[in-house]
A and B are shown apart, each in its own frame.
Chain A
Amino acid sequence: MNKLYKLVAAIAIALVLTGCEEAAQPEQRFSAVDITGGAWGKNFQLIDHDGQPKTLADFKDKAVVLSFGYTNCPDMCPMTMYKLATAVQQLGNDANRVQVLFVTLDPMRDTREILKQYVPAFHPTFLGMIGDEQTIDATAKEFKVFYKHQKPDASGFYTVDHMGPSFIFDPQGRLRLFISDEHSADAIAKDLRTLLKG
């Protein structure tokens, strides 16, 4: 994680120093890690928990928060989802301009039916996203989210090592922010407001 932060910070500094077009825009300050300019992750293609294929283009004019996890995760994943729900609730009427997507890293166990119960329980607008194993693997790799399924125990239960970051796209579909467990709901809400202002 530290390496990633350093890399992100280095890229951000490089962008400022080289006076690229981003630096010419009005200054925006974020609590989350600013990864503006990252060209990856824009082409994800997943199925939502209602069975509808979705890409970033389906959430035009909305800020999109992409979070990774799995439902057999007892603590970190529900806490992240709770935090995102708290942040979205703080936005009032702007909440409908934000789409949170929970991408399962465990497509074998997390069926559409399970995600349809789990994800909206945190906030009714949240969508659970699935894909086949190859698609999930490719999506996680695209976002540089490490995950690894552990060996099942005698009862067949297994855990999934994983990173717990979320990524935020602005309403123009540009990848902008990286949030981790250290960023609070208040900070995320503030950052989302800034992104929605444009």
Chain B
Amino acid sequence: MKWMNEGNLLKRVRPADAINTNRFLKAANRSITVMVALGLLSMPIHAATTSGTEKTSPSGAAQSVAITNAWARATVPGQPVGAVYMTIKSRDNLTLVHAETKAARQVQVHSMRLREGVMQMREQGQLSLAAGSTTELAPGGMHLMLIGLQQPLQAGSAISVKLTFVDKGKRQTTSMISVPVRPIGP
């Protein structure tokens, strides 16, 4: 994670971003963090598992996305769908082009919005992540929709979700995240 604060990258980070980064680091230490780097895969993973110490990280064109606070709500028997939420922080322009899990037949990016009392849910297709952006997938908004659950999502368990990102240069990278299942309820 410390790669955010270092080397040539630091020159591009505005003070506000640095503050957000620190918050982000704290959050990341509490939750599942997945670092994806195109071409330099080993560096961010090493960094992601290291906290509180300064590490020198390679500079260069590594493109990264950090996923934190991933969770899914438990489902009941007979409920064929579930929703996965997370925070995605992308350092570069990336597109989430595909998501899959063994827990469900299909995963789609869906938006949800309450409009004049009517809940509307729509498939979004691919999810664009602008460089430096933080995208929240949260209840009442964007989420990964699990369609055709193989079995109910049990609170306390976790499911693995594989995410595939593509950058502007069409380079593709995948990320496996572990998504803990929380009880139904607020």
- Whether a CB of chain B sits under 8 angstroms from the CB of A45 is no
Given A71-B78, A73-B81, A78-B79, also A159-B121 (CB < 8 A): yes
Total contacts A to B, CB within 8 angstroms?
Answer: 91
Q: Which of A7-15, A20-28, A35-43, A115-123 is near enough to bind chain B?
A: A115-123
Binds B, one of A59-67, A131-139, A160-168, A188-196: A160-168
* B112 close to chain A: CB less than 8 A: yes
List residues 118-168 of chain A with CB under 8 A from any CB of chain B.
118-119, 121-122, 146, 150, 153, 155, 157, 159, 161-165
Asked whether A75 is an interface residue with its Cβ less than 8 Å from the other chain, the reply is yes
Pick from A3, A119, A155, A161: contact of B119, CB below 8 A.
Answer: A161
B185 partner residues in chain A, CB cutoff 8 A:
79, 82, 86
Complex interface: chain A residues within 8 A of B105 (CB)? 155
Report the separation of the CA atoms of residues A121 and B79 in the bound assembly, to the nearest whole angstrom. Answer: 10
- Output the least CB separation between B81 and chain A (Å): 5
Is the CB of B44 closer than 8 A to any CB of chain A?
no
Q: How far is the CB of B60 from chain A (nearest CB, A)?
A: 39
Q: Does A72 reach chain B (CB closer than 8 Å)?
A: yes
Q: How far is the CA of A150 from the CA of B119 in the complex (A)?
A: 12
- Asked whether, in the complex, the Cβ of A72 is within 8 Å of the Cβ of B80, the reply is yes
Q: Are A153 and B78 in contact (CB under 8 A)?
A: no
Task: Tell me whether B76 is interfacial, beta carbon within 8 Å.
Answer: yes
Interface residue A17 (Cβ < 8 Å from any Cβ of B): no
A114 to chain B, nearest CB (A): 5
* Interface residue B143 (Cβ < 8 Å from any Cβ of A): yes
Q: Taking beta carbons and an 8 Å cutoff, which residues of A are in contact with B?
A: 1-4, 71-76, 78-79, 82, 86, 109, 114-119, 121-122, 146, 150, 153, 155, 157, 159, 161-165, 180-181
Residue contacts A-B, CB under 8 angstroms, 25 given = A2-B117, A71-B79, A71-B80, A73-B81, A74-B83, A74-B110, A75-B140, A78-B76, A79-B185, A82-B184, A82-B185, A86-B185, A118-B76, A118-B79, A121-B76, A146-B118, A150-B122, A155-B105, A159-B110, A159-B120, A159-B121, A161-B118, A163-B118, A163-B119, A181-B114
- A-B CB proximity, top 8 nearest: A1-B117, A117-B78, A118-B78, A121-B76, A74-B83, A117-B77, A159-B121, A161-B120
